[in-house]
């Protein structure tokens, strides 16, 4: 139970910090934060992305976020600088709420690792 409370507190801190910086204070949703991670991982922060590239950014982020859990492994960067991952283990079948908790936990851990939140 304490773990859930700690995750909730860190998640709220993360949302508040990122929302203040990237959305004029309007609370960012899970997908928006995942998208930001994709941009960060690509390293091309000052360009506009096409619709299909935005989907790819989300994929990059999810792979990177779930890499520490053993589901993906970084493989290589292509000629345009996009990271590619390979599947190490198939994701388990999770209910929607379980997926959300996993992604929130992965995001919190990602930003803790970068010392963006404490």
Boundaries of every domain in the chain: 32-113
pTM confidence score:
0.92
Q: Which residue has the tokens 């309007």?
A: 26
pLDDT tops 90 at residue 63: yes
Q: 111 to each of 17, 24, 37, 78, how far by Cα in Å?
A: 11, 20, 9, 25
pLDDT of residue 118: 83
CA atoms within 13 A on the CB side of 102: 17
Distinct helix (H) and strand (E) counts, the chain: 4, 2
pLDDT of residue 31: 97
pLDDT of residue 1: 60
Distance CA 28, CA 80 (A): 29
Distance CA 73, CA 83 (A): 11
Q: What pLDDT digit, counting tens, does each position of 76-117 carry?
A: 999 999 999 999 999 999 999 999 999 999 999 999 999 999
Q: What pLDDT digit, counting tens, does each position of 5-48 carry?
A: 999 999 999 999 999 999 987 899 999 999 999 999 999 888 89
pLDDT of residue 33: 97
Distance CA 53, CA 82 (A): 10
The predicted model gives 45-72 an average pLDDT of 95
The predicted model gives 56-69 an average pLDDT of 98
């Amino acid at each position: 139970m304490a773990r859930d409370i700690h995750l909730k507190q860190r998640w709220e801190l993360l949302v508040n910090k990122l929302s203040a910086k990237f959305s004029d204070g309007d609370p960012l949703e899970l997908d928006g934060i995942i998208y930001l991670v994709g941009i960060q991982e690509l390293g091309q922060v000052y360009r506009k992305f096409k619709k299909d590239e935005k989907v790819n950014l989300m994929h990059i982020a999810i792979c990177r976020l779930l890499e520490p859990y053993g589901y993906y492994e970084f493989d290589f960067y292509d000629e345009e600088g996009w990271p590619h991952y390979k599947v190490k283990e198939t994701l388990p079948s999770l209910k929607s709420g379980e997926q959300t908790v996993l992604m929130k936990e992965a995001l919190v851990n990602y930003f803790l690792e970068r010392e963006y939140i404490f």
